[in-house]
Amino acid sequence: MRLPYFLAVALIFLVSAGLCLLAASFAVTKVEETSEFAVRRALDLKGHDWAEVHSDGLRVVLTGTATDEATRFNALTAAGTEVDTSRVIDEMEVAPTTELAAPRFSAEILRNDSGISVIGLIPASENREALMERLSDLDGGAPVSDLMETADYPKPKGWDAAIAYAVDALKRLPRAKISASPGLVKITAIADSQQEKEKLEQDLTRTAPPSLRIGLSISAPRPVITPFTLRFLIDADGGQFDACSAQDEKARDAIVAAAQEAGMTDPYSCTIGLGVPSPRWSEAAVLSINALSELGGGSVTMSDADITLAAAQGTDGGAFDRVVGELENALPPVFALHAVLPPPETEGSEGPPEFSATRSPEGLVQIRGRLGDDTQRDMVDSYARAAFGSEQVHTATRIAPEGLPMGWPVRVLTGLEALAQLHNGALTVTPDDLVLNGISHDPETKAQIAGLLSEKLGDAQEFTLSITYQEPPEPADKLPDPEVCEERIAEVQAGTKIAFEPGSATVAADSRDTVNQIADILRECGPIRLEIQGHTDSQGREEMNQQLSQARAQSILNELRGRRVPTASFTAVGYGESQPIADNDTEEGREENRRIEFRLIRPEPVANTETGLDAIEAETIEAEQTDTPASDADAGDQ
Within 13 A of 470's CA, how many CA atoms are on the CB side?
Answer: 13
Query: Does 283 have pLDDT greater than 90?
Result: yes
Higher pLDDT, 391 or 632: 391
**Over the chain, what is the mean pLDDT?**
86
The whole-number average pLDDT for the span 126-142 is 89
> Strand order in 88-90's β-sheet?
52-56, 59-63, 88-90
Q: Is-contact 440 469, C-beta < 8 A? A: yes
The whole-number average pLDDT for the span 89-94 is 86
Higher pLDDT, 347 or 98: 98
What pLDDT does 437 receive? Answer: 93
Angle CA 561–564–568, to nearest 5: 55
What whole-number percentage of the chain has pLDDT above 90? 51
CA distance 301 to 465: 12
The whole-number average pLDDT for the span 360-385 is 91
Which CB contacts under 8 angstroms, 24+ apart, belong to 287-290?
287/327, 287/330, 287/331, 288/230, 288/232, 288/327, 288/331, 289/232, 289/255, 289/258, 289/259, 289/262, 290/258, 290/261, 290/262
Query: Does 622 have pLDDT greater than 70?
Result: no
Q: What is the pLDDT of residues 210-256, one digit of tens each?
A: 889 999 999 888 888 888 999 999 998 899 999 999 999 999 999 99
Higher pLDDT, 260 or 32: 260
Within 13 A of 615's CA, how many CA atoms are on the CB side?
Answer: 11
Q: What is the pLDDT of residues 13-26, one digit of tens each?
A: 666 666 565 555 55
Query: Does 140 have pLDDT greater than 90?
Result: no
> Strand order in 530-535's β-sheet?
570-574, 530-535, 595-600
Pairing of strands 93-94, 115-123: unpaired
Contact residues for 554 (Cβ-Cβ < 8 A; gap 6+): 505, 572, 574, 634, 635, 636
Q: What is the pLDDT of residues 435-487, one digit of tens each?
A: 999 999 888 899 999 989 988 888 778 889 999 998 887 776 778 889 999 99
Which residue in 452, 458, 426 sits closest to 226, CA to CA?
A: 452
Which of 79-83, 225-229, 495-499, 523-527 is the least confident region?
Answer: 79-83
Q: Residue type for 241, please?
A: F
Query: Sorting pLDDT into bands at 50, 70 and 90, what band is 44?
Result: confident
Instruction: Give the distance, in angstroms, between the CA of residue 613 and the centroid of all CA atoms in the same chain.
Output: 18
What pLDDT does 426 receive? Answer: 94
Q: Residue type for 185, please?
A: V
What pLDDT does 635 receive? Answer: 37
What pLDDT does 605 receive? Answer: 77
CA distance 57 to 593: 77
